[in-house]
Amino acid sequence: MAEKTYLQAISDGLRQEMQRDKRVFVIGEDVGVYGGAFKVTLGFQEEFGPWRVIDAPLSETAIVGGCTGAAIMGMRPVAEMQFADFISCAWDHLVTVAAKQRYRAGTPVPIVVRLPSGGGFSGGPFHSQNPESSFAHIPGLKVVCPATPEDAKGLLVSAIEDPNPVLYFEHKHLYRRIKAEVPDERYLTPFGKARVHREGDDITVVTWGAMVYTADEAAKQLEEEDLSIEILDLRTLIPWDRKAVLESAKKTSKVLVLHEDTRTGGFGAEIAATIAEEAFEHLDGPIKRVTAPDSPVPFSPPLEKAYIPQIEDVAAGLRELAEY
């Protein structure tokens, strides 16, 4: 057990899987000699060689297409997109081929696509998106969004072991900002099992990724107002822990869904609809969403701050629910 950053936990999990299983290899732009855009694979090519840490051309289509073929042949590829935004270039290979191959032919396609996502650093509209809901809609894909260093490692190991394509969203703003104790040994964090980040009695916040910490800061503020906020970290969106969400909704009777993705069609809408269908009689107020607006991510720092849900936005939403 040692204190590690979110980034170190991802790197350690990946390294351990490559040491354990020679079928695991890494491919992406600048993952080898340069060590990755964010240095997750720093030193990997020296340790494992250029055939297992492959510097790919600037073609996300080629990367994901190559991974699909390698996975069908028994390998376990881990692809890195330099930014989650760039996965759109590989939409056809991922959604039309990889996601449907097991359904069509029974062939496992154990691909992991690592997706550095999220804003908070003035990356602009092409380097700051959270497109998880786009892929949560596609049967055959799994969607993972770790918030803690411990989960970042455990969920990555589970993703590499999974026989299906897994999109692993790692929030860039957490890379070096979050530290926590992480076990040195290999372990798996199960998919579809939410984590209670904070226990409370008055209102439930359902969230994932970096927004877990935004919710936590808002909850701390509202403690001074005698409001007890429960925070559920979903950890994975596909599959997602319906049971935990419904139990918490029934416990507190009020729910706020928080995500950094845009509002319309965001995964929060699916959560809200499920609560409305299955726990309506337990609610004492409307299900509220706090999200980014339906807009590209602004480059300007003040505009980006207005775009990404802030602590005060969450606190305001919780106060509205408390007063309802």
Separation between Cα atoms, residue 155 and residue 158, nearest integer Å: 5
Condensed to tens digits (0 to 9), the pLDDT of residues 13-37 reads 999 999 999 999 999 999 999 999 9
Separation between Cα atoms, residue 87 and residue 96, nearest integer Å: 14
* Average pLDDT for the chain: 97
Residue 171: HSE in the Cβ half-sphere, 13 Å Cα cutoff: 27
Burial of 132 (0-12, 13-18, 19+ CB in 10 A): buried
* Residues ≥6 apart with Cβ < 8 Å to 135: 94, 95, 141, 143, 167, 238
Residue 173: HSE in the Cβ half-sphere, 13 Å Cα cutoff: 19
Q: Where are the beta strands (DSSP E) in the chain?
A: 2-5, 24-28, 53-55, 76-80, 112-117, 142-144, 166-171, 179-182, 195-198, 203-207, 229-233, 236-238, 255-262, 288-292
Q: What is the pLDDT of residue 248?
A: 98
Q: What is the pLDDT of residue 60?
A: 97
* Catalytic site includes residue 127: yes
For residue 201, give the amino acid letter.
D
Residue 98: HSE in the Cβ half-sphere, 13 Å Cα cutoff: 31
Beta bridge partners of 26: 53, 78
Query: Per-residue confidence at 302, pLDDT binned at 50, 70, 90?
Result: very high
Provide the percentage of residues in the chain whose pLDDT is more than 70.
100
Condensed to tens digits (0 to 9), the pLDDT of residues 162-189 reads 999 999 999 999 999 999 999 999 999 9
Length of the chain: 324
Condensed to tens digits (0 to 9), the pLDDT of residues 238-279 reads 999 999 999 999 999 999 999 999 999 999 999 999 999 999
> What domains appear along the chain, each with residue ranges and CATH number?
2-182 (3.40.50.970), 195-323 (3.40.50.920)
Provide the percentage of residues in the chain whose pLDDT is more than 90.
99
Q: What count of other Cβ atoms lies within 10 Å of the Cβ of residue 294? A: 10
Percentages (nearest 5) of helix, strand, coil residues in the chain: 40, 20, 40
Q: Which of 93, 127, 197, 259 is catalytic?
A: 127
Condensed to tens digits (0 to 9), the pLDDT of residues 118-147 reads 999 999 999 999 999 999 999 999 999 999
**How far, in Å, are 142, 212, 258 from residue 272 at the CA level?**
20, 18, 11
Condensed to tens digits (0 to 9), the pLDDT of residues 77-96 reads 999 999 999 999 999 999 99
Pairing of strands 2-5, 166-171: unpaired
Condensed to tens digits (0 to 9), the pLDDT of residues 55-75 reads 999 999 999 999 999 999 999
